[in-house]
Structure formats: C-alpha cells, structure tokens
Chain A
Amino acid sequence: MLAHADDPAQRTLAKYRANGGYRALGKALSRTPEQVTDEVLRSGLRGRGGAGFPTGKKWQFVPKDSKKPKYLCVNADESEPGTCKDRQIMERDPHQMIEGALIAAYAIGAGACYVYVRGEYPHSIRAMEEAIDEARAAGLVGKGILGTKFSCEMWVHPGAGAYICGEETALLSSLEGGRGYPRLKPPFPAVEGLWRCPTIVNNVETLACVTHIVARGAEWWASMGCSGSTGTRLFCVSGHVKRPGVYELECGKFTLRQLLEEFCGGTNTGRPIKGCMPGGSSFQVLRADELDVRFDVDALAKAGSSLGSGGIIVFDDSISAVDVALNIAEFYSHESCGQCTPCREGSDWVRKILVRLASGRGSKSDLDLLWDVTRKMDGTTICPLAEALVWPVQSYLEKFPADFEAAVARRASA
C-alpha cells in the first residue's frame, strides 16, 4: 500500500495507471460480484478500522433480493488516538482506495459511494476530491464504468469534528445530516443503513487492500502475514520512540518488542519503555515486561489487548499512569455523544475522579470507585465508546498500581 507513498506524482491518475492502477477494477468487472466477494473472503482480509471483522463476510450480509438502492461508505473519519495511517493513503495514493471502493461497490451492488472524511483533514479532503474528479473525467466513476453496465457515483462528504462518527452507525447518522448518534443494532447497516437502505461501511485501508487482493489474488495476499492476520497492514507508531511513523508490515513476523526496539529504535528519551498501547487508546495497555507478544490479531487478543486500528502509542517511565489514564478519560468524556446514560454520565465521572487523583486530591476509595464505575459502564451502552474508555483505564489500574498508590499517598501527605 505504501509502495509509491514517497512519489508525489502517484496522486495523479496518469502515474497511478502507469504503475498498474485500475487493472484490478477491470478484472473485477469481468467477473461476477459473488466471485469478487469470494476472492476477498478467501484472502482472509479483516477490517482495518479497529473492529477487525472479515471484510468478505460483511459484504455478504447485504440482502441480495433487496430492491432498495445500496450504498458504500468509506470510513475516513480516522480519529482514534495514535492512528494516522488512512491519511497517508488518501494524501499519497488516493486512487488505490478509490479503485478498492469501486470494486467493493460492484461486489455489493452499490450505485453510490460516500467518502466520509473527518473535517479536520483538509489535505485528505482536497486530495480525495481531486482524485475522484480525475477518475470521473476518465470514466472510472459515474455511469458505465470502463464501458460496462456498472455505474457508481462517488462523493467526498466532510465530517465536522466528532470522534464518535468513526463508529459506523454514527457515521450514517452524521452523513444523513444529523447529530452523530450511534444507532441501535439490530437492524445492522448491511440490511438497514443509509436512509434505511443496505449499506456497507469500510475503512480506507481495508479498501486499499481490496485493490491489491483483486489485482494479485487471494492466495498471494494470504501468503503474507499470518493466519488470522493475512496480508500487510499499516501501523502508526507514536510517543516516546526514536523513529515514529507509519510502517507497512506483515503480522506475525515479529514481536511488539522487536517492532518498538528494532524498527523504531527504542525510546527517544534514553529512559526505558514503561508501557505500550498497541491498538490505539481504546484498548488495554501492555507493560514493558509484556511486550514479547507476537504481533498479530489473535496473539494480542490472547495477551489481553488488541491490534485495534494499528495505532501504537509508547511511553517511557517519565509519565505516571495516572496522567496517561486521565488524558484518555478526557478524550472519551469529551467525545461521548451523550445519548445513553452510562457513557454520558460515567465517562465524565471517571475523568473527574482521575483529575483528583492526578492532582493529589484522590483517596484509596477512589480506586475502588473507578473499578466499580467502569464495570457499570461495560456492556450496558448503545455503542462501544464506553468500553473504549473502560478497558484502557482498568488496564492502567491493574498494571500500574504503584502509580495510583503514589497519587493517593500525595493526598495523605498534603
């Protein structure tokens, strides 16, 4: 996916085609939609937005016999802390994603595709709009694509600043022109999504992968990576490392420690790694002694964390776990949509408790309170934003008890 990332000309249709672009689309259109879906299914491709659901399987949920128009939405709302990879594709090699989106639209029978780009990405918005305009002018978007009967329109749709709109049903609510409220499931978007029509929401990177899978085959894709995490993936590393950045890697070929120490050069501060959030801020932290885990979806899940959206955040021992947890709680309470009781009220309660702890006004009972409040948010809400706060905060409480006890002790000595 990053093969041509450093070539500014790759953004243009001409260069993209010169490098083999849009042949995959031609291939897909010469087959049936079911065959295309099957190829993606066999590749083992899993969604790259954070949930990791098998992409081909998701496409199959679209009811074949529905007379309603079908839609594809590209989730380009990339707002997960630690994640800056979709932006690379949109800014550097956008046609790769456009081609994948067209293939996906063909596979599910969609006639229109909306690329929901977060409003704070003006560069991505501009790059996508220019690339789509080029593609449309060349007959690759719109009516009768590549001379076939397949027609699909594509538009960029800007968000306006709300992390929750990365949740697929909230994205739909926002795209329909409303507040970004996640929706009750069932019904699922594949059956009732945009304007109650069958809709598939796919991540930017996922669709870029689709292009390559169709171009070179499911077997080729599955030959890379490892079982359960086939192909290559984009990872962003940030925080206290020497070489932060976006890396395209094969899962299962290295451990998290190797990634951090060898690929990223260890910490940039000279101090030892204290912890790492391998899946962005929505999943559990791993302590420095827990980094010898093979880096793939299943191994990380077994280790009590997740690959998530591929945003790896590293911190050294100069920062207290309490401050990290507080920063995370601030994020989620700020971004909570406010629709349902446990998240709306609980997220800011957690934040307030952590504020007191971080400023030396917390007590021992606050630690028990944090556990109890977070437990009551877990599994009781409309969408997983509650868990995205609960799991990391609980993991900090569990894995860095000394930091919390020190925070409590500060009050005692005050």
Chain B
Amino acid sequence: MSVPPGPLPRPLVERIEALFARYPYRRAALLPALHLVQKEHGGWLPDDAIRATADLFGLPDQEVRGVIGFYEMFHTHPVGRHVVRVCKTLPCKLRGADGILRHIEARYGVENGGTTGDGRFTLECFECLGHCSTGPMMLVDDERHENLTAEAVDRALGALR
C-alpha cells in the first residue's frame, strides 16, 4: 500500500494501516482512523486531512465527509485547545445541568458550540454521557467531572491551559 501524498504523517498512516488487519474489510477501520486523524490535527479534521484519509481508504471524499457529519465527536472546524462537553439530558437536567451550562456561558463568555476568546476550550452541550447517577457531569477531553457544582466547574476549567 503506497503512502498517499498529503498531510497525513507516516507514523499516523502506519497506525491506521495496523488497524486494517483487525477487519476483513478495510473500511471498518474508518471510525477508529478518523479519531486518530482528528487527534493528530489538534482536535478537528481539516479538509485535506479528510481527503487524504479518503485516499488511504480508497473511498470517495464526500463519502468520508458524510460519515464524519453523522457523528457528534468529529469536528470539521477548528476547536479550542480543549473540548468541554456538558450533558443536558434529563437525569443531569434534574440535578442542575441547566444552571451549570448557564454558569459556564456567563463566566467564560462562550455559547454552545463556541470557543472561548483565548482559544482555551470549546463548549459543547451534549446528550446523555452515561453518568446519570452522578450528574450533572462534564467531559473535559478525556477527563470526567461528576457531581458538578459551579465551584467544581471553575476548578476544572480554571486548570485548563
């Protein structure tokens, strides 16, 4: 398999190619691969990275874009250095998620889907994140923060660089 020209660095391509062996059809590695490509590009998927990934998989580029567009976790526009996902679904709402969201919006001047002015984090209002018994909760990148209060939020977000 020849390395396609474009912005995918060789080590990344090798990690993706290692995934191919797990499935009888290469296409099945697409979602795990997109996660890797997104991580490599600072948390989002630039257009030429999408095209290079499509080439690597032998797929039409718009087909890959259509897959990306289906899933919440993939971004096609730049995000902040961190991604903050606050759950808004019923169990968390019942424990005060609305207030947490309003607090973040007010304190950090950012709306759902937006990024703070200093580029520190992108706020995303998310649907059920599966921590219903310890809500309200948020995911900050791969870290979770449960049983949130405004203070706990500030401690977590204040630590972000």
Evaluate contact between B73 and A79: CB separation under 8 angstroms. Answer: no
A82 interfacial contact with B, CB 8 Å: yes
**Interface status of B48 (Cβ within 8 A of chain A):** no
A84-B130 CB under 8 A given contacts A177-B67, A313-B91, A319-B94: yes
Q: B29 at the A/B interface (Cβ < 8 Å)? A: yes
* Beta-carbon nearest neighbor of B24 in chain A: A195
B12 at interface by CB-CB < 8 Å: no
CB-defined contacts of A335 to chain B, threshold 8 Å? 127
Q: Are B94 and A81 in contact (CB under 8 A)?
A: no
Task: Among A82, A157, A179, A327, point to the contact of B70 (Cβ < 8 A).
Answer: A179
Q: Is B13 an interface residue (CB 8 A)?
A: no
Are B71 and A80 in touch, CB under 8 angstroms?
no
Count of B interface residues, CB-CB < 8 Å: 40
Flag if B127 contacts A163 (CB, 8 Å).
yes
Question: For A328, what are the chain B residues with a Cβ–Cβ distance below 8 Å?
Answer: 90
Asked whether A157 lies within 8 Å of B32 as measured between CB atoms, the reply is: yes
User: With A174-B31, A177-B27, A239-B95 as given contacts, are A81 and B72 in contact (CB-CB < 8 Å)?
Assistant: no
- In chain A, what residue has the closest Cβ to B85? A120
- The answer to whether A157 and B94 have CB atoms under 8 Å apart is no
Within 8 A of B (CB), among A294-336: 311, 313-315, 319, 324, 327-328, 330-331, 334-335
- Which of A78, A84, A153, A315 makes the CB contact (< 8 A) with B94? A315
- A43 on the interface (CB 8 Å rule)? no
- Does A180 touch B at the CB level, under 8 Å? yes
Q: A82-B91, A119-B35 are in contact. Are A160 and B74 (CB under 8 A)?
A: yes
Task: Assess the A119–B67 pair: CB atoms within 8 A.
Answer: no
B35 engages A236 (CB within 8 Å): no
Give Cα A177–Cα B64 distance, bound, in whole angstroms: 9
Chain A window 235-270, contacts with chain B (Cβ cutoff 8 Å), 1 for yes, 0 for no: 011111000111000000000000000000000000
In whole angstroms, how far apart are the Cα atoms of A17 and B133 in the complex?
Answer: 30
- Any A CB within 8 A of the CB of B89: yes
**A175 beta carbon closer than 8 Å to chain B:** yes
| Interface contact B132-A158, CB-CB below 8 Å | no
Chain B contacts with A in 22-36, Cβ cutoff 8 A:
22, 24-25, 27-32, 34-35
Tell me, in angstroms, the Cα distance from A405 to B70 when the chains sit together. 37
Known contacts A177-B67, A331-B128, A335-B127: A160-B94 contact under CB 8 Å = no
CB contacts under 8 Å to A, within B57-88, are 57, 66-67, 70-74, 85, 88
Of B32, B71, B132, B142, the residue contacting A82 (CB under 8 A) is B132
Tell me whether B135 is interfacial, beta carbon within 8 Å. yes
Taken residue by residue from 128 to 146, chain B's Cβ proximity to chain A (1 for < 8 Å, 0 otherwise) reads as: 1111111100010010100
- Shortest beta-carbon distance from B86 to chain A in Å: 12
On whether the beta carbons of A239 and B67 are closer than 8 Å, the reply is: no
Q: Does A206 contact B (CB under 8 A)?
A: no
**Bound complex: CA A153 to CA B23 (Å):** 10
Residues of B within 8 A of A158 (CB): 31-32, 35
Q: Which of A323-379 contact B (CB under 8 A)?
A: 324, 327-328, 330-331, 334-335, 337
B108 at the interface (CB under 8 A from A): no
Please give me the residue from chain A that is nearest to B19 by CB atom. A155
Residues of A contacting B89 with CB < 8 Å? Answer: 81, 281, 327, 331
Q: Is B93 an interface residue (CB 8 A)?
A: yes
Q: Besides A83-B132, A330-B88, 12 other CB < 8 A contacts?
A: A81-B90, A84-B130, A153-B22, A160-B74, A161-B72, A162-B72, A195-B25, A238-B95, A238-B133, A240-B94, A281-B90, A327-B90
Residues of B near any A CB (own CB < 8 A): 22, 24-25, 27-32, 34-35, 57, 66-67, 70-74, 85, 88-91, 93-95, 126-135, 139, 142, 144
Q: Can you offer 5 A-B residue contacts whose CB atoms are under 8 A?
A: A78-B130, A81-B89, A311-B91, A327-B89, A334-B127
